Every structure is written in C-alpha cells, then in structure tokens.
Amino acid sequence: VCPDKPGLVALFSGFVSSHQGNILHADQHLDRRHGLFLTRLEWALEGFSIPQADIHTQFQPIAQSVGAVWNLDFSNQEKRVAVFVSKTDHCLRDLIWKVHNGELPCQIALVVSNHEQCRAFVEREKIRFVCIPVHAENRRTQEHVQLALVQEERVNLIVLARYMQILSPEFVALAPPTVNIHHSFLPAFAGAQAYEQAYQRGVKLIGATAHYVSDQLDGGPIIAQNTATVSHRDELEDFKRKGRSIERDVLTHATRAHLLHRVLVYKNRTVVFD
C-alpha cells in the first residue's frame, strides 16, 4: 500500500522480472478517495536470482522510495492456526474438515476453548485441545495462559470460531492476526445475541461477517460477508439454523483469503483479491 503515482506497476513488476522471476498473479486497486495504490504480486521462486532469505533486504529500498507499507510471505512456509471456540462447534468442524481436504493451506496446531464440549471431537482428530475457563475475575490471567500457548505452538493466525468471549485490547495487541466470525451482517446487530436482535427487529435478511479483531467490539476490518433471506414465518431457531450455514462459509472464505495473503488492510477496511 502506497501513495498513488505513475509507474508503480512497472516499478514493482520490474523488480521481479529483472531478477528472472516469473509472475503468477498480479492484482492492483486504486483507492481514489484516499489516493492510495494497493497491489499484490505473486511469483515463482524457481529461477529467481535472489536467494529467498535476501529478497526482503533487496526490495526494501524500492518500497521506501515510494513510501510503501508492505510485507513479504512465502507459500513454502508452514502456516499454523489456533482455533478458539466455546460450545457451538459448527464452524470448528467445518474448518477441520476443510483443512483435511486441502481447501485451507494450514495446520490446526491448537484448539482453545472455555468449555469442555468440543474436547472429544478435537482429540479424535489428533489436534491439541486446551480448556481454559474464562470469567471476569480471571480474564487477564487466562489470557496470559492463552498467549503462552499460542507462542509455544508457533501460531501465525488465530481464528475465533464462535468464541463467545471478548478479547482484551492487551491480548489483541500481543496476539498474531485474529479473524472472528460474527453472526450478523455488520455493522448491524453488533455484540451479543445478534440473532435475537434481528428476530426482534423483524428483519428480512440475516447475515454473517468475518473480520479482523481490533480493540473495538466487532469493529475490525471486514474480510467477508454473506446473507440469507428470512420472513415472518421464521422463528428464532430458523434464524439460527440458516445462519449457521452462512457462518461456516464466510469464515472459511475469510480464513483462506488470509492464508493465501490475499487481504490488504488499510484505514480499518480491506481489499480482498480473489
């Protein structure tokens, strides 16, 4: 992400081509309102003349010359995920299944829960499960325990798969990137009991939102959303039944986009290159 000006595409792609790199994907977006250029380049390392360990150092002067905020990631480096969950397991089960069938390029290294309900299923899948009960009086202590586990397992990404606890700003600041699934079409019905809020309001659409966690409740940059229709015939349980399907799909889509480094975050919003 950098201020827009002529020649940026040639500058960035020229770095790759001048070192015998083969560009596989090139995406860009211009935010005219803020005058920002956003781009993602993906290239093959086979035949690239700069050793993998030296690419960051070699590209840094180019990025500095245009005031770019950037990062470099490699698909050959293992991605380790921690999933946080409470009692509701439909998103957790979907994530595990999609890791097994290759849709999500990662390893689920750890499942953390504040309840025991998911232990048997998770351990049958040969995944480490740790129950850490959390309440108002022990939240700070337990978050330190959670962060220690995340560090021990070398986790790159936390996914909140219906984890019904609010993370403190201190936890968010120290944790790796964290993706949450919220059971409404944000910014509508933020906070707890979103389906109950929607049902009482008599909405005709319900939705789900996957977003990065920030220090604002349900206020982080949005990665993916989807909706389903409801009507006056639907009871609260129908809202929840329809919503579970949306939650699974939206969370998987957002998690995959993050793992493939297709999400660019700026000004509390995202560009997602599909």
* 193-242 pLDDT tens trace: 999 999 999 999 999 999 999 999 999 999 999 999 999 999 999 999 99
Whether residues 47 and 86 fall in one domain: no
* The pLDDT value given to residue 101: 95
24 residue type, one letter: L
Q: What percent of the chain has pLDDT over 90?
A: 98
Domain assignment present for residue 75? The answer is no
Whether residues 188 and 130 fall in one domain: yes
Whether residues 118 and 248 fall in one domain: yes
Q: What percent of the chain has pLDDT over 70?
A: 100
Catalytic residue, chosen from 54, 73, 89, 218, is: 218
Whether residues 11 and 144 fall in one domain: no
Domain assignment present for residue 73? The answer is no
* For residue 136, pLDDT beyond 90: no
Whether residues 46 and 137 fall in one domain: no
Whether residues 54 and 149 fall in one domain: no
22 residue type, one letter: N
Whether residues 52 and 88 fall in one domain: no
Binned at pLDDT 50, 70 and 90, residue 49 comes out as very high
At a CB cut-off of 8 Å and minimum separation 6, what does 73 contact? 261
Average pLDDT, the chain: 96
Domain assignment present for residue 72? The answer is no
How far apart, in whole angstroms, are the C-alpha atoms of residue 33 and residue 44? Answer: 33
Number of domains in the chain: 2
Q: 53: which DSSP letter?
A: G
Binned at pLDDT 50, 70 and 90, residue 181 comes out as very high
* The pLDDT value given to residue 104: 97
How many residues can be counted in the chain? 274
Q: Of 13, 32, 65, which residue sits at a domain end?
A: 65
Q: 33: which DSSP letter?
A: T
72 exposure class (CB count in 10 Å sphere: 0-12, 13-18, 19+) = exposed
Hey, is 4 helix, strand or coil? Answer: coil
* The pLDDT value given to residue 162: 96
Whether residues 127 and 175 fall in one domain: yes
How far apart, in whole angstroms, are the C-alpha atoms of residue 233 and residue 80? Answer: 43
CA gyration radius, the chain: 21
Whether residues 213 and 239 fall in one domain: yes
Whether residues 204 and 115 fall in one domain: yes
Domain assignment present for residue 33? The answer is yes
Q: 37: which DSSP letter?
A: E
Whether residues 184 and 89 fall in one domain: yes
Domain assignment present for residue 234? The answer is yes
Half-sphere exposure of 200 (CA within 13 A, CB side): 6
* The pLDDT value given to residue 185: 96
For residue 270, what is the enclosing H or E element? strand 269-272
Domain assignment present for residue 88? The answer is yes
Tokens of 252: 């998987």
Q: Which domain holds residue 113?
A: 80-272
* The pLDDT value given to residue 107: 97
Q: Of 41, 65, 89, which residue sits at a domain end?
A: 65
Orientation angle between helical segments 236-259 and 90-100, nearest 10 degrees: 40
Domain assignment present for residue 198? The answer is yes
**Residue 255, number of CB atoms within 10 A of its CB:** 28
Whether residues 105 and 185 fall in one domain: yes
Averaged pLDDT, 42-59? 96
Domain assignment present for residue 259? The answer is yes
pLDDT tens for 70-113 read 999 999 898 999 999 999 999 999 999 999 999 999 999 999 99
Binned at pLDDT 50, 70 and 90, residue 122 comes out as very high
CATH number at residue 34: 3.30.70.260
* For residue 61, pLDDT beyond 90: yes
Averaged pLDDT, 13-26? 96
CATH number at residue 233: 3.40.50.170
Hey, is 227 helix, strand or coil? Answer: strand
Are the CB atoms for 26 and 13 separated by under 8 Å?
A: yes
218 is catalytic: yes
Are the CB atoms for 253 and 270 separated by under 8 Å?
A: no
Residue with tokens 């002067």: 61
Q: Of 40, 65, 90, which residue sits at a domain end?
A: 65
* The pLDDT value given to residue 246: 97
Q: With the C-alpha atoms ordered 43, 49, 55, 58, is the resulting torsion angle positive or negative?
A: negative
